[in-house]
Chain A
Amino acid sequence: MTKIILKDIPDLHKIDVYEANGGYQSIRKAIKEMSPDDVTNVVKSSNLRGRGGACFPTGLKWTFMPKQTEKPKYLCCNGDESEPGSFKDREIFEKNPHQFIEGTLLACYAMGIKAAYVYIRGEYFKWINLLQDALDDAYKKGYVGKNILGSDFSTDIYIHRGAGAYICGEESALMNSVEGKRGYPRVKPPFPAANGLWGCPTTINNIETLATVPEIIKNGAEWFTQIGAPKHPGTLLFGVSGHVNKPGVYELPTGTPLMTIINDVCGGVLGGKKIKMVIPGGSSMPPLTPEECLTAKMDNESLKEFGSSIGTAGVMVMNEDTDLLKVLIRIAKFYYHESCGQCTPCREGTGWLLRILKRIDAGHGRISDLDLLTSVALNIEGNTICALGDAAAWPVKWTIKKFRADFEACVSKDDVDVPVLNKVHSMR
């Protein structure tokens, strides 16, 4: 089985083990034999797509950075990892930090960047220290800092610790947080490549995205495109949680069937029960029904068929005993808590979603509440500064749509005439 990041090599987190297994050869090769544009072009033709949730083509993103500019350019490495169900980047900090550092160096080399900030969620205290240790070793050996490997390429990498705000994973909120401000997302455009950190050109990439790059430079774009699903190639670090026998992080090719992951890799559903629902990519992604699970393949294009996406590849499995109303309440509570409050639809809408769901749970629900919830979700979606609004709306909209019968069973059938309902038409 192809493994690009979580290779079965003991002690790979140590710099000498990493070096002995071909580590830091890609940055050496890039500096010696390739121009910065060559590196970008290889990444571009590898068809690597961002692992932070949006699947944006990485090479293309790198080409947005201006070449002629007086201003310094920056890279932000996104290790905020706060989407519920996601716990993969921490595995990279722990098991293969140097490959991430090398990927960061390659990105800096390709885009002419002299400073990279690794933004790591504040709770990851232990993993921040692990990465800092790896970084110190890399500095000592001359891989990071001034005149890397004796060349005229220099770049610094700094860790910036967050302090408990999911929204700081959103790229423009992240930049504000690095600048020492509240983590408020910025209105786009301007996009970060034109106007990012301190008004300078900036690129933001996920930790896993960057950790994949050294292997692409080492083995070539062609090699990479042949792993997994053609339109979304490579491997993904699937973080499987919930009702499976062996939860954990597993590196598998994109396009791996969901049931293979659940049954063969994770030892099946806990207690031999049936599946009720699976969220395929972190809590904001639309869920899958048991029937959909049977044919679902875990890459972005395949999941589109079911109205969902790969997100962060955080697979949350729920068995037949799961109370979906409780799950949805917990998800709604999260987005309500994490909304930064700048946009009215998100700030108020997330509260409404939570309160209506709680009313249903308290036994005061009515059938029209299901349409009301959908209506609130539709009024948030697409009407906000950042995608947290969408992330809050999607689970509610899609879970009710796909599991309507479950929710109807929780509410009174007697409709109540509420004026707002006049404007609401059913999703069904």
Chain B
Amino acid sequence: MSLFNEEELKKVEEIKSHYPQSQAALLPVLWMVQEKEGWISEDSMKYVGDLLKVSYEHILGVVTFYTMFNKQPRGKFHLQICTNVSCMLRGGYDLYKYASEKLGINNNETTKDGLFTIEEVECLGSCGTAPMIQVNNKEYYENLTVESFGKLIEDFKNSH
């Protein structure tokens, strides 16, 4: 299996040069895998293990430790809804319940069409603009209301 193309392999070499030991490149390289594949499969872990000379067991341990690494495929839009205290005070759970009911799924579940996954997440460091969500580990959507969140979900549906 060759997961990475030449350009990506060059990038891996560049990342390795940041550290005195290649194992330190593990998190950045796992991020590259997830960026490319959407999640991190057993095969990918073995591939990364060969690439960085790290055992599969070690990598499995790392992947299962960090919540942002997806151990299974996610929906096209992974809605990460913060329900920690500052968001909760401002309606974080209302957002969560709304999404759960509208999409008919529970925490960490994906809709049948593969479009949406919802996940209740811990504080995202955006408490001043609560309630808020993150989508696909990237974009933040802040100062949401149930209405604006509903519109956002519609927009995602239509953009697909």
Contact = CB atoms under 8 A, between A and B. Distances in A.
- Residue among B24, B25, B52 with the most chain A CB within 10 A? B24
A183 B124 CA distance: 18
A330 B123 contact: no
B138 A125 contact: yes
Given A84-B86, A283-B85, A122 B128 contact: no
Contact of A165 (B18, B26, B67, B90): B67
B122 A198 contact: no
Given A82-B125, A247-B129, A318 B89 contact: yes
Contacts, number: 140
B62 interface: yes
Contacts of A240: 128
B54 A90 contact: no
Given A123-B124, A163-B31, A166-B122, A241 B23 contact: no
Nearest to A181: B62
Contacts of A163: 27, 30-31, 66-69
**Most chain-A CB neighbours within 10 Å: which of B21, B123, B130, B137?**
B123
A125 B129 CA distance: 17
Contacts of A177: 27
A363 interface: no
A382 interface: no
A164 B129 CA distance: 20
Contact of A86 (B20, B28, B125): B125
Given A161-B28, A322-B89, A82 B123 contact: yes
Given A82-B123, A85-B86, A122-B66, A180 B24 contact: yes
Interface residues of B, number: 43
Contact of B85 (A81, A84, A248): A84
B60 to A, nearest CB: 11
A122 B85 contact: no
12 contacts: A81-B125, A84-B85, A85-B123, A87-B126, A87-B128, A180-B27, A198-B21, A240-B128, A242-B127, A243-B89, A316-B89, A330-B88
Given A87-B128, A178-B24, 8 more contacts: A86-B125, A89-B125, A123-B124, A123-B125, A163-B66, A164-B69, A241-B86, A316-B86
Interface of B: 18-21, 23-28, 30-31, 52, 54, 58, 61-62, 65-69, 83-86, 88-90, 122-130, 134, 137-140
Interface of A: 72, 81-87, 89-90, 121-126, 156, 158, 160-166, 177-183, 198, 239-243, 247-249, 279, 283, 314, 316, 318, 322, 326-327, 330-331, 334, 337-338, 340
